[in-house]
């Protein structure tokens, strides 16, 4: 049987043999009582990596982000973010539901904001306006095609936040994809942000879990919010062990995913049916199909050749590379792409 090449998302990876062994061997306890040594170790590891005081293991990136919004804001505040942000696009409007806040949407370049546009968006303090209290940046930006923030850009945004006493949260679901490309250290990015969420279950290849990182008081309150959201887990150390393994073994190899994504984009750039290929900086390839080609027809063709991908708009397609796609599979996928519509 032909092996499926799954480019749907980097969330679809299965634990490797080494990761499963680490999970089997995990020491566990009840994390609601903070007695799970593996969860505690993961939280300490993440806090130390990013130079923050504390961290909190969460079941999903959505929950980690939603907790951050809740702790950083009060009802009737607003969060400033790019219109492509995951917190706006893909979290079911949770900012309104959980936190009672508004969004102030900006149009960055492929999801990347600059300090000037953030400063211009901060509302003056009038009784009839929401209070701007939080900025969220997404690094890398998913809908922006895996686009990266430079450290200078983050620094400039943080300076604006400081001047206006706003908090800065980093949705770092794929922050390690950015860091292996820029060469910045996690601590450098940690120093510029009040809080960070990162996903262990995307490119890092763990089956479940995200981590919210921040100061002691912030995480203390975040732990209460996680509980009220139903995210207090018991012997979660089996999952935390997978996360620790992922941080130890699956960061450097993200470069392979980026090389694979660039190979796909290079191949597409020579094909007449693909247009507006977004700049590929990490592991995501977003492009448009030239009419009359449609995502439905293209996906059907790919499916016949055992390739999975996703439609990302009426004319838009997305490929995501990850741990379970090797160079041979990328070569095969490129052959299939070359044979479409010829």
Using CB under 6 A, which of the segments 107-115, 196-204, 237-245, 305-313 binds ligand PLP? Answer: 196-204
Among 52, 70, 72, 86, binds ligand PLP (CB under 6 A): 86
Query: How many residues line the site for ligand PLP (CB under 6 A)?
Result: 13
Are the C-beta atoms of 298 and 317 separated by less than 8 Å?
yes
Nearest residue (CB) to ligand PLP, 36 versus 171: 171
Rounded Cα distance between 24 and 1, Å, is 31
Are the C-beta atoms of 268 and 287 separated by less than 8 Å?
yes
Nearest residue (CB) to ligand PLP, 225 versus 274: 225
Q: Least distance (Å) from ligand PLP to the CB of residue 199?
A: 5
Rounded Cα distance between 94 and 211, Å, is 18
Rounded Cα distance between 46 and 15, Å, is 20
Nearest residue (CB) to ligand PLP, 73 versus 177: 177
Nearest residue (CB) to ligand PLP, 13 versus 293: 13
Check residue 257 for interaction with ligand PLP (CB under 6 A).
Answer: no
Check residue 62 for interaction with ligand PLP (CB under 6 A).
Answer: yes
Nearest to 142 by CA among 283, 264, 259, 274: 283
Check residue 192 for interaction with ligand PLP (CB under 6 A).
Answer: no
Q: Least distance (Å) from ligand PLP to the CB of residue 150?
A: 18
Rounded Cα distance between 12 and 147, Å, is 21
Check residue 60 for interaction with ligand PLP (CB under 6 A).
Answer: yes
Among 138, 192, 257, 288, binds ligand PLP (CB under 6 A): 138
Check residue 65 for interaction with ligand PLP (CB under 6 A).
Answer: yes
Report the alpha-carbon angle 62-66-70, nearest 5: 175
Nearest to 119 by CA among 80, 171, 73: 80
Nearest residue (CB) to ligand PLP, 15 versus 61: 61
275 torsion bin: left (phi>0), alpha (psi -120 to 50), beta (else): beta
> What is the contact surface with ligand PLP in residues (CB under 6 A)?
60-62, 65, 86, 138, 142, 171, 173, 199, 201-202, 210
């Amino acid at each position: 049987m032909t092996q499926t090449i799954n480019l749907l998302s980097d969330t679809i990876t299965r634990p490797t043999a080494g990761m499963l062994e680490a999970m089997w061997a995990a020491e566990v306890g009840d994390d609601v009582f903070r007695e799970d040594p593996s969860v505690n170790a993961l939280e300490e590891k993440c806090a130390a990596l990013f130079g923050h005081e504390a961290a909190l293991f969460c079941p999903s990136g959505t929950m980690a982000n939603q907790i951050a919004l809740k702790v950083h804001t009060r009802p009737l505040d607003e969060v400033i973010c790019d219109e492509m942000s995951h917190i706006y696009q893909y979290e079911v409007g949770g900012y309104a539901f959980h936190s009672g806040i508004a969004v102030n949407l900006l149009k960055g370049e492929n999801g990347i904001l600059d300090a000037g546009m953030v400063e211009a968006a901060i509302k003056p303090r009038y009784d009839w306006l929401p209070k701007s209290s939080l900025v969220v940046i997404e690094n890398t930006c998913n809908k922006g095609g895996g686009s990266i923030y430079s450290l200078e850009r983050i620094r400039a945004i943080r300076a604006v936040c400081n001047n206006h006493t706003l908090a800065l949260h980093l949705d770092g679901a794929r922050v390690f994809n950015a860091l292996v490309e820029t060469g910045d250290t996690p601590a450098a990015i940690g120093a510029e942000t009040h809080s960070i969420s990162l996903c262990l279950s995307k490119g890092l290849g763990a089956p479940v879990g995200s981590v919210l990182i921040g100061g002691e008081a912030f995480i203390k309150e975040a732990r209460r919010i996680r509980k009220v959201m139903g995210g207090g887990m018991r012997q979660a150390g089996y999952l935390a062990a997978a996360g620790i393994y992922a941080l130890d073994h699956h960061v450097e190899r993200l470069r392979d995913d980026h090389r694979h994504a660039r190979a796909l984009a290079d191949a597409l750039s020579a094909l007449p049916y693909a247009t507006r290929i977004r700049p590929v900086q990490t592991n995501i390839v977003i492009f448009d199909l030239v009419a009359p080609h449609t995502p439905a027809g293209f996906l059907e063709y790919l499916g016949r050749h055992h390739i999975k991908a996703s439609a990302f708009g009426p004319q838009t397609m997305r490929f995501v590379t990850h741990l379970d796609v090797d160079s041979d599979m990328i070569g095969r996928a490129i052959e299939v792409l070359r044979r479409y519509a010829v």
